[in-house]
Amino acid sequence: MSKHPAPRGGLALRFWGVRGSTPVSGPDYLEFGGSTPCLEVTCGDRMVLIDAGTGLFNCGQHHRDALPKQVDLLFSHLHLDHVGGLPFFKPAVFDPERTITTYCGNLDGASAEATIDRLFAPPIFPVTLDVIPCTLRHRGFRAGESVTLDDGLRVDTLPLHHPQGSVGYRFEHGGRRLCVISDLEHTDPWPDPKLAEFVAGADLMVYDGMFTDCEYPRCKGWGHSTWQKGVELAKAAGVKALAIIHLHPAHSDATLRAMEAEMQAEMPTAFIARERQQVEVGSEIRPRRAEGRARPLKLARIA
């Protein structure tokens, strides 16, 4: 895993947390990691964060003072595994010169302010928002609307099927398209036509693969999907590469490696995301494979 910065100029993605529901640690989680969702998208030099799971801590530690003064944080939704890292986003939250703007699209236009206020409050957390040194601003929108960030960067959004709703995001930069689709549960019939249209032709789609098709019947209605449904959607929508996230906390490295091999037999450009993995959207990659059977993949590069 590299500490090199994202390549300049293109559309890139770094996975700071790929585990779903609860963080995990221990010898079974060394390869894929145990932090909950946090993604860093870079459009050229412009950084946007998606979700503030526990992976946000390592994002803050990695960039430290190199973080932009204005940090944009898009929430997929506000379940605990997607917001719990925000109080620990150091040093950003302790920097009086830094502004963090959050965007929330699953609350009928309301922002995340009231929810985040409840998170930064005793007895859950000792420090309240009014004494946090950074400036926190909160913006609400309705999933389905395009969101325009302060510098004009436009991000398209789509409502996703999940308890209390969730938001899918689409970035376009330098002729490349990246879609982040998590958390969601697939619907019947599948693929959902609106979702297929939203992700159509993406160079990379990040997708919620918490369960396998075999596990899913016991977990129906919990708001998550399977890698098999991700592959179906990708193939139907002409998506060129697929990254699976929101990994089940009980899925060990060995389980995930076996799952990835099975998935790549159906879609060679699909992979299960590793924490800290960096991908340049649209470039050729040679993925690291634990079994030593490395072979080139098209369309995304792991740095």
Chain contacts with Zn ion (rule: CB under 5 A): 20, 79, 81, 183
- Backbone angle region of 213, left / alpha / beta, with phi > 0 → left and psi within -120 to 50 → alpha: alpha
* In the complex, minimum distance from the CB of residue 18 to Zn ion, in angstroms, rounded to a whole number: 11
Is the Cβ of residue 176 or residue 248 nearer to Zn ion in the bound state?
248
d(CA 200, CA 47): 24
Q: Which residues are within 8 A (CB) of 294 and not within 5 positions of it... i.e. 6 or more apart?
A: 286, 287, 288
Is the Cβ of residue 38 or residue 100 nearer to Zn ion in the bound state?
38
* In the complex, minimum distance from the CB of residue 53 to Zn ion, in angstroms, rounded to a whole number: 8
Q: Is 189 exposed, middle or buried (0-12, 13-18, 19+ CB in 10 A)?
A: exposed
d(CA 43, CA 13): 9
Q: What would the two tokens of residue 30 be? A: 């060394």
* In the complex, minimum distance from the CB of residue 20 to Zn ion, in angstroms, rounded to a whole number: 5
Is the Cβ of residue 20 or residue 191 nearer to Zn ion in the bound state?
20
* In the complex, minimum distance from the CB of residue 232 to Zn ion, in angstroms, rounded to a whole number: 21
Structural contact between residues 13 and 278, judged by C-beta atoms closer than 8 angstroms: yes
Is the Cβ of residue 40 or residue 183 nearer to Zn ion in the bound state?
183
Is the Cβ of residue 116 or residue 302 nearer to Zn ion in the bound state?
116
* In the complex, minimum distance from the CB of residue 125 to Zn ion, in angstroms, rounded to a whole number: 20
